Amino acid sequence: MSNMNKTMIVANWKMHLNAHEASLLVHRLDDRIKIHRDVEVVLAPSMLSLQPLSLQIDRRKFRLAAQTANEHDQGAFTGEVSFTMLHDLVHYVIIGHSERRIYFHETFEVVRDKVAAAVRNKITPILCVGETHVERKNGETKQVLHDQLVTALSNLTTEEVENVVIAYEPVWAISTFGGELAKPSQISEAVDLIRSQIRELYGERVAASVRVLYGGSVDDHTISGYLEVPGINGALVGAASLNYHKFSAIIDAAYRLHHKVKEG
Ligand code: 13P
């Protein structure tokens, strides 16, 4: 089954849970989540928990993602971890999350270099793009998405772009930045912009096959509505992914919807 035909649900645990707590949450999720061939569940714990969780997880159920890494493969960069070091541990890495752009001043160029470093080390980037409240109010959403995408992907080949996962996360919809609920029409419009940008730069085939996730206040109540937005292939979940009831309910909803769509 191609990646495109699966629903992808990513848990971004951000800077929560020590290694023991992370392990406990995986135990609980493991009890509740069945093996779904057509739902891909990805966990993004803190850097510290990646190694122990890589030994603990049932790989038929879960894949791991890092939340960031350094764009250099090695060197005198005190405190940093490179993609080269993560190569055997993770399938994915979240790059360009708005918290990294805002709190850690990651520029478009740093995001571009991280995307290239991930691909160079055979790790699939989950590239986050999205406008702030002010940018939306000023009618700049299209330009912001364009600039974020064009720069971030500029060092990749067409084949490499096809494999990238793009997460549309409007900053104003993230629970800790305001948590306004995005309307399906707003998401659909943004996804169309993203795919048409990709189409212009890399052609129809890539635009149709690149996976696009939605992120921003996704929980067990909102997930179905978001997954029904045309062009959306999954979700990037923050706060609700720390709660095993909510997160396993999200996976169940994704599974039910996937089958409803396929059968209907
Ligand atoms: P919330 O789901 O808490 O809004 O966070 C979204 C997010 O930032 C996921 O990366």
Closest ligand 1 atom, residue 177 Cα: 4
Query: Residues 156, 120: contact at Cβ < 8 Å?
Result: no
Architecture field, domain 3-263: Alpha-Beta Barrel (3.20)
Give the β-pairing of 234-237 and 211-215.
parallel
Question: Does ligand 1 come within 6 angstroms of the Cβ of 238?
Answer: yes
Token digits for 121? 């080390």
User: What is the average per-residue pLDDT within 62-79?
Assistant: 98
For residue 143, give the H/E element and its range. Answer: helix 141-153
Which token pair is 40?
A: 């891909």
Question: 100 vs 2, which has greater pLDDT?
Answer: 100
Using CA atoms, how far apart are residues 68 and 91, in angstroms rounded to an integer?
A: 13
122: phi then psi, degrees, rounded to nearest 5: 60, 35
Question: Is 68 near ligand 1, meaning CB less than 6 Å away?
Answer: no
Q: Is the CB of 96 under 6 A from ligand 1?
A: no
Q: Is the shortest distance between the CB of 182 and ligand 1 below 6 Å? A: no
In this predicted structure, the answer to whether residue 97 has a pLDDT above a threshold of 60 is yes
Which pLDDT band, with edges at 50, 70 and 90, does 261 fall under?
low
For ligand 1, the distance from its centroid to the CA atom of residue 99, given in whole angstroms, is: 10
Q: Is the pLDDT of residue 1 over 70?
A: no
Domain ranges in the chain are: 3-263
- Ligand 1 pocket, residue 12 CB under 6 Å: yes
Band of residue 89 on the pLDDT scale cut at 50, 70, 90 = very high
Kindly give the number of the ligand 1 atom that is closest to the alpha carbon of 99: 8
Phi and psi of 94, rounded to 5°?
A: -80, 130
Please write the tens of the pLDDT for every residue from 160-217: 999 999 999 999 999 999 889 999 999 999 999 999 999 999 999 999 999 999 999 9
What does the pLDDT look like over 102-160, one tens digit per residue?
A: 999 999 999 999 999 999 999 999 999 999 999 999 999 999 999 999 999 999 999 99
Q: Which residue among 10, 14, 223, 242 has the greatest number of ligand 1 atoms within 8 angstroms of its CB, and so is best to mutate?
A: 14
Cα 94 to chain center, whole Å? 6
- At 245, give phi and psi (nearest 5°): -65, -50
User: Would you place residue 262 in the very low, low, confident or very high pLDDT band (cuts 50, 70, 90)?
Assistant: low
Distance 264 CA to ligand 1 centre (A): 30
Distance from Cα 160 to the centre of ligand 1, integer Å: 26
Calpha distance 130→121 (Å, rounded): 26
| Mean pLDDT estimate for the chain | 95
pLDDT of residue 260: 77
- Report pLDDT for 186: 97
Q: Is 167 close to ligand 1, i.e. is its CB under 6 Å away?
A: no
Which residues are identified as catalytic? 97, 169
Please identify, by atom number, the ligand 1 atom nearest to the C-alpha of residue 236: 9
Q: Give residues with Cβ within 8 angstroms of 137, minimum separation 6.
A: none
| Placement of tokens 């109540």 in the chain | 221
